[in-house]
Amino acid sequence: MPALILASTSRYRQELLGRLRLPFEAVAPEVDETAQPGEAPAALAERLALAKARAVAARFSGAVVLGSDQVAELDGEAIGKPGTHENAAEQLRRMSGREVVFQTAVAVVAPGVAAIERAEVRVRFRTLSEAAIEAYLRADEPYDCAGSAKVESLGIALLEAVESDDPTALIGLPLIRTCALLRRAGLEPLA
């Protein structure tokens, strides 16, 4: 069986891929994640997922490499990881009572295979008070998450609805699509 490598240092993606019970190694992809001028959020997520997989595959000949990226989108604009408490609070204020689309792409690069899939998740945020925003940020500290909310944790209390055909896509790795890509690369999670 070829080596499986996740081109990511994200603890969220590592936990999700671990659910498939395939041995894998996580490797930093070292890819510039700057959006190109006029690049749509969905295109950005796809480009970065593939770039991450290709960057790591170039260093590990013969491996099956997965790359993934997620971009939160509000009114057609990409919303990145907040990095700070203040930025996260501002993001949540902007998203309060609104729908945010999370574009999550996953790519596989292996000998003879380069493919990409994208999952779109529509999230409706409740109308959030300043007290709710502050309480949430103090509890979860989601400063490394696109859109400032961890749905797998207390962030679920910020939401009214989540619509997706791949339930783990919102956390950062769409496992239904990941399984399909792994099969294309010759790895069967149920083998």
Report the share of the chain in percent with pLDDT over 90. Answer: 94
Catalytic-role residue among 32, 69, 75, 140: 69
Look at the alpha carbons of 16, 168, 69, 144 in this order and tell me if their dihedral is positive or negative: negative
CA distance 96 to 57: 40
Mean pLDDT of the chain: 96
Average of per-residue pLDDT across 83-97 = 97
Residue 2 has pLDDT above 90, yes or no: no
- Name the pLDDT band for 63 (thresholds 50, 70, 90): very high
Residue 190 placed within a domain? no
Q: Is the pLDDT of residue 1 over 90?
A: no
How would you write the chain as a 3-class SS string? CCCEEECCCCHHHHHHHHCCCCCCEECCCCCCCCCCCCCCHHHHHHHHHHHHHHHHHCCCCCCEEEEEEEEEEECCEEECCCCCHHHHHHHHHHHCCCEEEEEEEEEEEECCEEEEEEEEEEEEECCCCHHHHHHHHHHHCCCCCCCCCCCCCHHHHHEEEEECCCCCCCCCCCHHHHHHHHHHCCCCCCC
Q: Can 69 be counted among the known catalytic residues?
A: yes
The mean pLDDT value for 157-172 works out to 95
Question: Is residue 100 in some structural domain?
Answer: yes
Half-sphere exposure in the Cβ direction for 99 (13 Å, CA): 9
Residue 69, domain CATH? 3.90.950.10
> Is 189 a domain residue?
no
Please check the confidence at residue 6 and state whether its pLDDT lies above 90.
Answer: yes
- Structural domain for 82, as ranges: 4-184
Does residue 191 lie in a domain region? no
Q: Is residue 69 included in any domain, yes or no?
A: yes
**Looking at residue 80, what is its pLDDT?**
87
pLDDT at 44 over 80: yes
The reply to whether 114 falls in a domain is yes
Q: Does 139 map to a domain?
A: yes
Is position 54 within any domain? yes
